[in-house]
Each structure stands twice: as structure tokens, then as C-alpha cells.
Amino acid sequence: MSPKKLEQFRYEGTSWIRTVDYLQQENIMLKNRLAQIMQYPVDKNMLEQAEVYQNIFLGKDAILAILRHDIKEVEKLLLAQKNGEASNTEARLLKKQLKLRQDMEKMENEFNRIKKQFNGYLAEAL
């Protein structure tokens, strides 16, 4: 694999780590906002919806942890490829890089959709 391609893959990995960090911070803010809302008296419907969002946010935490792990795995493959340590790393690297690109895009889209939905719900319910 060319050094330019390896460098591009490293750049993408660094960018993905920053994106995961940002999404984790946003998820923390959403959970904190939910906790703030729950300090006030709420009806049964709002309590049920709050539980749904709480579960969604906890699920996003788990997915972000998996993405972070996958990014680290790609970084290891990049290092092995750079050092010529294994002959089969290029195919595995290309496959994992493509899957990670798709997973990151999906996560960003899902997270933005949930965030918008949550904020819209609160604007209507409060």
C-alpha cells in the first residue's frame, strides 16, 4: 500500500476519534438535559418518553465505545502495514477502513436525527 494511502487512512482515523469524542460530549449533554427535565413534576407520558430517550442515549454510548475500539484496531493494522509486519494486513485494512467509514457516517446521521428528535420533543412537551 502506498505511503500516501496509509497517511490518508491515519488522517481519517484521527478525524474519527475527534468525531467520536464530540458525539460522546453531545450525548452527555443530552443525558444531562434529560436529567434536568426529570427534576420537575412530569406526567406519565413524559416519564415513559424520557425512559425511551435514556435507553437510546445509553445505547449510543455503547456504540461509540465500539467505534472507538474499531478505530484503534484499524490504527494497529495501519502500523503493521507501515512496518511490513504481515502480508495479509492490506486486504484486512481496506475492508475494515471501508466498514468503519460506513459505520461512522451511519452513527453521525443517526445521532443527529435523535438529537433533533429529542430537542423537538422537549420543545413540544415543555
Interval 23-47: pLDDT, tens: 999 999 999 999 999 999 989 999 9
What angle do helix axes 89-125 and 44-83 make, rounded to 10 degrees?
160
Nearest to 108 by CA among 43, 55, 64: 64
Read off the pTM.
0.89
Distance CA 5, CA 84 (A): 15
Tens of pLDDT, residue by residue over 87-112, are 677 888 899 999 999 999 999 999 99
Identity of the amino acid at 28: I
Write the CA distances from 30 to 48, 66, 123, 124, integer angstroms. Answer: 17, 20, 14, 16
